[in-house]
């Protein structure tokens, strides 16, 4: 880690934090009257962060594979706030399954509510799944790409966490193509800390899993695809040794 990159990282974080309410307020008049306006505002912010990361901290963001443009289930590896922005920016009509506390966040909560994101209470597993299914069914009148994090939370690069049942339940109910997403974003933009590593952050939309698998078979296939591809992306960074377990 060098001093100049530290300085660049801090400046980048400050401007990205400031631009969230700025862009949110600029798009607010449109967002208040139209869901399209809310989507446009969020795409503008995601694009801004991705663009400024490229020249401010030498972090290029790359999307691989083919993001779906039709109704689809998108279970994704979650390592960083950056992979949220990259996935959102790559999809035309993304709806995220997100924790209920975010509903009350300034600006973000209002935009998420307008776009009919699916809020769940992670502390009440059975009730959360029931409510999630009801909310998803209610929102199916406007098809989009439903993004869910099957592990339920951020996991640092190289770590293994269990895949939860909620994604499999949605897979059974929706009967839509499922596009797994792998990433290495956590290498460059960690969950904690201010340092942003230069390089190429990737989100990779993998080959879809067709509807029809049993619940257990689906979870096994989903985990195999996402973890294998994410491990491969970690090796591409050249710093995989930093995440090896002793």
Per-residue pLDDT tens over the stretch 205-223? 999 999 999 999 999 999 9
Task: Check if the beta carbon of residue 87 is closer than 8 Å to that of residue 181.
Answer: yes
62-237: which CATH topology?
A: Glycerol-3-phosphate (1)-acyltransferase (3.40.1130)
CA distance 158 to 235: 10
Top pLDDT among 57 and 164 is at 57
Paired strand residues for 74: 147
- Helix, strand, coil share of the chain (percent; to 5): 55, 15, 30
Residue 92 tokens, joined = 């035309």
pLDDT digits (tens, 9 = 90+) for 35-83: 889 999 999 999 999 999 999 999 999 999 999 999 999 999 999 999 9
Cα three-residue angle 63-64-67, rounded to 5 degrees: 80
pTM (predicted TM-score): 0.90
pLDDT of residue 106: 74
Residue found under tokens 């294998």: 228
pLDDT tens by residue, 91-139: 998 988 887 777 777 777 778 877 777 777 766 555 556 666 666 666 5
Query: What span, in angstroms and rounded, lies between the C-alpha atoms of 29 and 21?
Result: 13
Give the strand pairing for 59-65 and 199-205.
parallel
% residues pLDDT > 90 (the chain): 64
The residue among 46, 54, 89 whose CA lies nearest residue 181 is: 89
208: phi then psi, degrees, rounded to nearest 5: -70, 155
Count of other CB atoms within 10 angstroms of residue 210:
10
User: So what's the pLDDT on residue 70?
Assistant: 92
DSSP state of 186: H
Cα three-residue angle 20-36-17, rounded to 5 degrees: 5
Task: Give the confidence band of 150 by pLDDT, cuts at 50, 70, 90.
Answer: very high
Q: What is the pLDDT of residue 246?
A: 40
Average pLDDT, the chain: 89
The reported pLDDT for the residue numbered 123 is 60
């Amino acid at each position: 880690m060098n001093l100049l990159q530290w300085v660049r990282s801090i400046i980048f974080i400050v401007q990205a934090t400031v631009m969230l309410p700025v862009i949110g307020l600029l798009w607010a008049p449109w967002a208040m009257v139209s869901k399209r306006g809310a989507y446009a505002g969020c795409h503008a912010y995601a694009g801004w962060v991705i663009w400024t990361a490229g020249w401010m901290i030498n972090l290029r963001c790359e999307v691989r594979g083919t993001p779906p443009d039709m109704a689809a289930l998108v279970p994704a590896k979650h390592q960083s706030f950056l992979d949220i922005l990259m996935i959102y920016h790559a999809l035309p009509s993304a709806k995220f399954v997100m924790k209920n506390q975010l509903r009350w966040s300034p600006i973000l909560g209002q935009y998420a509510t307008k776009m009919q994101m699916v809020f769940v209470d992670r502390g009440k597993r059975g009730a959360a799944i029931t409510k999630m299914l009801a909310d998803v069914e209610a929102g199916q009148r406007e098809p989009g790409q439903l993004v869910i994090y099957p592990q339920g939370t951020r996991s640092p690069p190289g770590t293994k966490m269990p895949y939860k049942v909620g994604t499999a339940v949605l897979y059974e109910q929706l009967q839509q193509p499922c596009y797994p997403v792998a990433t290495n974003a956590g290498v460059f933009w960690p969950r904690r800390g201010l340092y942003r590593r230069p390089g190429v952050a990737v989100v990779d939309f993998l080959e879809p899993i067709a509807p029809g698998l049993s619940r257990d078979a689906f979870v096994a296939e989903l985990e195999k695809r996402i973890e294998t591809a994410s491990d491969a992306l970690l090796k591409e960074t050249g710093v995989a040794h930093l995440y090896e377990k002793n």
